[in-house]
Amino acid sequence: MLILTQDFDPTVDPVVHSLKAKDAEVVRVDLSYFPQKMYVTASDFDGERRRLLHRGRDVDLSRLSGVWYRRPTAFDFGPDMGEAEKQFARNEALQGIGGILRATTCTWINRPDLDAVAELKPYQLDIAKRLGMRTPKTLMTNDPEEVSALLARADRPVVYKAFSGGVIHYPGSFPSGLFTTVVGEEINEHLDRVRHTMCMFQEYIEKAYEVRLTVIGNTFFPVVIRSQETDATSVDWRGANHLPYGDYVPLPEDLVKKTQLLMAELDLVYAALDFIVTPDGEYVFLEANPNGQFMWMYHDLKLPMADCIADLLMAGGEFRRGEVTQIGY
């Protein structure tokens, strides 16, 4: 079992404990160990060999049953290499290591090339609509006049939402989050700023509650979030320190089938999906995060997510979508 993530990643720890309890061999490394602390080799000069060597541990990459591509950091070429050489070395490493790992036929959670495509929000929304899911009416543009025209004709509130999760890294400070926000009158004074990048505006949809659905293979963990109970969570529940959970509500079978089709088209094994449930009970798809967090639910609701990931990594072979099991709390 190979887990690729940064040194500090508490999300991985319960999965590692579960794997070890199941007597699985686990190697956890970060891509930043390459090339100074880690060797990767593939050769067919003396028989087929694909290996990773780190701190005395020798991993036969051809025998992997699963790879969890969690949150590794970038290759670290050290301070002595020039910038031009670092760029060349980085591209060579991406081609070499990426190609060697891609050649494995084990279960990936998830392959990084598939993650990169699947996390494109406009692409997700297009697939969801095609599959018959309701999605918010959406404007994506860097044209201030398009936004002005939308606000002038809108018959309900409009929200601004970042494409990429909304994390901004200011030098010398902790990353700050840019949450989904209802657009107010003040935007008219700053409309020209829209032209600086792509912006996404959506209709505000009335909510009864929201659902965070964690999909791990063919196991669904739908969690109800009573977001309308507090002001801090009413527009974007990510702004709360403590979430108001609701009682378990299984997903309707029709939505389960559509979600499976969405996951299959995105070619994902794992994803965290967000839905609004309207006062009349309609589910509205917002987005799918191919590497979304789940440990807060694991701890708060005692959901067996770590064991589920461990079992999936140990299963081996290429993953196939099949019958869904929904897990309550």
> Residue 165: its pLDDT value, please?
73
pLDDT-based confidence at 323, cuts 50/70/90? very high
Co-location of 194 and 275 in the same domain: no
Co-location of 27 and 80 in the same domain: yes
Dihedral of the alpha carbons of 236, 239, 240, 244, in degrees to the nearest 10: 10
The answer to whether position 118 is within a domain reads no
- Region 217-237: what's the mean pLDDT? 93
**Quick check: 282 pLDDT over 70?**
yes
DSSP string, 88-150: HHHHHHHHHHHHHHHT--SEEE--HHHHHHHT-HHHHHHHHHHTT-B---EEEES-HHHHHHH
pLDDT digits 0-9 by tens, 2-48: 999 999 999 999 999 999 999 999 999 999 999 999 999 999 998 88
| β-strands 2-4, 66-69 pairing | parallel
Co-location of 68 and 94 in the same domain: yes
Q: Which residue pairs, CB below 8 angstroms and at least 24 apart, start in 152-157?
A: 154/203, 156/203, 156/204, 157/182, 157/183, 157/203, 157/204
- Region 86-97: what's the mean pLDDT? 96
The answer to whether position 239 is within a domain reads yes
Which residues pair with residue 35 across a beta bridge?
A: 76
The answer to whether position 182 is within a domain reads yes
The answer to whether position 128 is within a domain reads no
Residue percentage of the chain with pLDDT more than 90: 82
Q: What's the whole-number average pLDDT of the chain?
A: 93
| Radius of gyration of the chain from its Cα atoms, rounded to whole angstroms | 22
Tell me which of 181, 203, 225 is where a domain ends. 203
Q: Which residues contact 314 (CB under 8 A, 6 or more apart)?
A: 1, 19, 22, 24, 65, 66
Rounded CA separation 238/222 (Å):
17
> Residue 171: its pLDDT value, please?
67
Co-location of 33 and 68 in the same domain: yes
**Quick check: 175 pLDDT over 90?**
no
Task: Name the maximum alpha-carbon separation found in the chain.
Answer: 70
CATH of the domain at 256: 3.30.470.20
In which domain, by residue range, is 229 found? 206-326
Co-location of 258 and 194 in the same domain: no
Residue that is written with structure tokens 């009682």 in the block: 247
Co-location of 197 and 222 in the same domain: no
Tell me which of 104, 125, 149 is where a domain ends. 104
DSSP string, 261-283: HHHHHHT-SEEEEEEEE-TTS-E
The answer to whether position 126 is within a domain reads no
Co-location of 271 and 215 in the same domain: yes
Tell me which of 183, 203, 223 is where a domain ends. 203
Tell me the CA distances in angstroms from 181 to 88, 124, 144, 191, 322, one per residue in order. 41, 21, 18, 15, 37
19-33, 44-58, 266-280: the lowest-pLDDT one: 44-58
Total domains in the chain come to: 3
CATH of the domain at 198: 3.30.1490
The answer to whether position 14 is within a domain reads yes
Better-scored residue on pLDDT, 179 or 17: 17
117-126, 168-177, 206-215: the lowest-pLDDT one: 168-177
**Quick check: 146 pLDDT over 80?**
yes
Alpha helix ranges (H) inside the chain: 12-21, 83-102, 112-118, 121-130, 144-153, 253-266, 295-301, 305-315
Co-location of 59 and 161 in the same domain: no
The answer to whether position 110 is within a domain reads no
pLDDT-based confidence at 263, cuts 50/70/90? very high
Query: How far, rounded to the nearest angstrom, does the alpha carbon of residue 229 sit from its chain's CA centroid?
Result: 26
- Region 89-100: what's the mean pLDDT? 95
> Residue 177: its pLDDT value, please?
67
Tell me the CA distances in angstroms from 290 to 13, 71, 135, 150, one per residue in order. 19, 11, 18, 30
Co-location of 180 and 211 in the same domain: no
Rounded CA separation 258/322 (Å):
13
Co-location of 215 and 305 in the same domain: yes
| Contact present, 300 and 243 (Cβ < 8 Å) | yes
Co-location of 237 and 199 in the same domain: no
DSSP string, 307-318: HHHHHHHHH-S-
Rounded CA separation 182/195 (Å):
19
Co-location of 184 and 195 in the same domain: yes
- Region 129-137: what's the mean pLDDT? 98
Rounded CA separation 136/161 (Å):
12
Rounded CA separation 301/307 (Å):
14
> Residue 166: its pLDDT value, please?
64
The answer to whether position 132 is within a domain reads no
> Residue 170: its pLDDT value, please?
66
| Contact present, 55 and 37 (Cβ < 8 Å) | yes
